[in-house]
Each structure stands twice: as C-alpha cells, then as structure tokens.
Structure 1
Amino acid sequence: MNRRALLLFLLASLLPAATLAQGAAKLPKPGPKDLCPVCGMLVSKYPNWIATIVYKDGHAHHFDGAKDMFKMWFEPAKYVAGHKREDMAALWVTDFYNLQPVDARKAWFVVGSDVLGPMGHELVALASREDAADFLKDHKGRRILTFEQVAKDLPFRLDDGKF
C-alpha cells in the first residue's frame, strides 16, 4: 500500500470517530430546572445517568436515565404533545464507566444488575460490548442488549423489577 492510500485509509477510519465526538461536544447539557418529560425528576441532580434526545431543530429533552429515554422513544406523543420519532436526530446516553455521552444506537445496555439508577432498575449504558460483559459479570446482570433489542415493554417491566 503506498503512502497516499495509507493516509486516505487512516483519515477515512478516523472520520466517524471525529464526527461522533463532534456530535457529543455539541450535546446540550440539562439546566438546573430541566425535568424529565417522562417522570418529572430534576435531571441535573443525576449527571451519571443523563440521557438526551436531540431533535432536528436543535431542541433537546433530557432524562434521568436510559429507561425513561426509551419510554419517550417508543411513544413520544404520550409524554410531549406534538413530538414525533421522525423528528429525533440523535439519542445519547451516559456511559457507566467513563461518564461520557455515547450514541444510544451504538451503546450496549445491561439489565437486571445490582446497580440501580435514580428510578430503580435501569438500562445501564456502556460504550462497548467488552465493557458490558465486564459489567454484567461484576454486577450480577441478567442480559446485555443492543439498542434494537430493547423491547417497548422492557422499560415498564424494569419499573416492576422484571428483567
């Protein structure tokens, strides 16, 4: 491989990470009075659990955990009139280990662990499959799920302690 091809390959492989980091850098932080639209809790009191949905127009809703974010994802109009899934541009969750924003669609979620969020049993977000496997083992988790594997009823079952 010549030097030019190698340089183009490296640049292309770094571009998605740079774009993701740029998106996280633009992620609005919840203010001191921002309430979770699902449960009404003050979100800023729980910075280690913050999840955020950013809309195409730049508006954002913050949540006290991924569990409530998923409730909104599945039924946005139930929680905020006039909001639709089609208008959602990005979904972010806070990684349990490094406390940094992670694209929710690329995160791994552990359910049934001994770690509780602000509202009890939670979908604990992790940035990698390896971190999720370690967390599952260290915290007696039951399952690891991708974003697509989170079923509509799971956040409500977690409220009842059912995994």
Structure 2
Amino acid sequence: MKSVRLKFLPALLMFTVFLAGCSGESEKVAEKPAPVHIESGDDCHVCGMTITRFAGPKGEVITEKEQTVHKFCSTRDMFAWVLQPENVMRKHTLYVHDMSQTEWASPDDTALIDAREAFYVVGSERKGAMGQTLASFSTEAAAQDFMMEYGGEVLQHDGITLEHLNTAMPKGDMH
C-alpha cells in the first residue's frame, strides 16, 4: 500500500502545482490603464469636433477588451456615448477632468480623475464644447461650491442618465 501511494506522489504534486498556478491567474486583477493625454489634433469620438478648441471638462474612455482610447470634447459627449445601450454593459475605464484642479478655459490633462469616483454638476450655466456640460470634480465639496456659484444639481456617476443629458442641455445651445 505504501509503494502505491509513493507511486502517485509525483503526479499528485504536479496536479497541486497546476491547481495553485491556475488559482493565482484567476485572482490577478487587471491594472487600470493610465489616462492618455489629449493632443491638439484629437477629435471627439461622438461629434468629430477638435477637442482642444473648446473650454470645459473633457472625457476619455478606454475599452477594457480592446484597450481602445476614445476621447471626447465634453463630459456630456462622453456620457452620451457610455450610456448608449451597446456600451452601458461593457467594461470601460473612464476619465474626466477635476475642474477644481485646472482652468475651465483649458483643462490640464494632469487633472484627469476616475470618472466613476467623480461628482458632477449637471445643468449649470458654465458652457463647454457642447453648450451646457457636466462639470466634474474629485470631491463633493468642490462640486457643491461650483453649484452654489453657477447653479445646477450635484450627481454622482451612477446617478447620471440620458434624460439628464437631454433635459439639462437645451437644443440649440451648442457652440
């Protein structure tokens, strides 16, 4: 009996090593890709406008599977794309500018933050590339301060819907 157990010991050890290797692979979490700087010639993925020609916060989406970078001239256009039925269930990495850390007229890409953790002011009087835009901030306090000065409503990422984009952005208000 002892010789039978020893005979299968190498196979058992190999199987154990194999299982340990497999479990390690499933536990690995993919690193979030870093934001990509918006260059002067980049066009908006939704409307085709040159992104850097307009004020206000911009957006960026990096698709998980393809690692394709989509850049947007406004947070409004980014949400309009992300909230489409064919995109809403897909996994993406999303970035927006933290407007408490950069100038409205020309946002600096060093101020890009995770869009899912940001706070947004919807319906303010500040204009972006597509008219009214969603002003993005890393803290709720900064968003509240902005709202007190420029109006609107503070929402988090998961609270923004296509209805917010359509009702808060009157037609004919685009630049």
Establish whether TM, by shorter chain, passes 0.5. yes
Query: Of residues 77, 81, 87 in structure 2, which corresponds to 1:72?
Result: 81
Distance change in 2, residues 1:52/1:76 (3 Å): farther
In 1, the alpha carbon distance for the partners of 2:76 and 2:56 equals: 14
Query: Of residues 108, 132, 142 in structure 1, which corresponds to 2:143?
Result: 132
What is the deviation of 1:29? 1.7
Q: Which piece of structure 1 moves more, 101-110 or 35-44?
A: 35-44
Q: Which amino acid aligns with 1:55?
A: T
Who is 1:94 aligned against?
97
- Contact 2:55-2:128 at 8 Å conserved across structures: no
Runs of 4+ in 1 over 6 A off after TM superposition: none
- Contact 2:60-2:71 at 8 Å conserved across structures: yes
RMSD across aligned positions (CA): 2.2
What is the deviation of 1:156? 2.1
TM-score of the pair, normalised by structure 1: 0.71
In 1, the alpha carbon distance for the partners of 2:84 and 2:35 equals: 22
1:44 maps to 2:52: yes
Q: In the comparison of the two structures, how many residue pairs are matched? A: 132
**Pairs within 5 Å for 1:1-150:** 26-46=34-54, 48-56=56-64, 57-75=66-84, 84-99=87-102, 100-139=111-150, 141-150=151-160
What are the superposed Cα offsets for residues 7-65 of structure 1, whole Å, 9 maximum, x if unpaired? xxxxxxxxxxxxxxx958x3112333322121221113247522100112321000011
Q: Which amino acid aligns with 2:127?
A: L
Q: Which amino acid aligns with 1:52?
A: E
What are the superposed Cα offsets for residues 61-87 of structure 1, whole Å, 9 maximum, x if unpaired? 00011111011001175xxxxxx4455
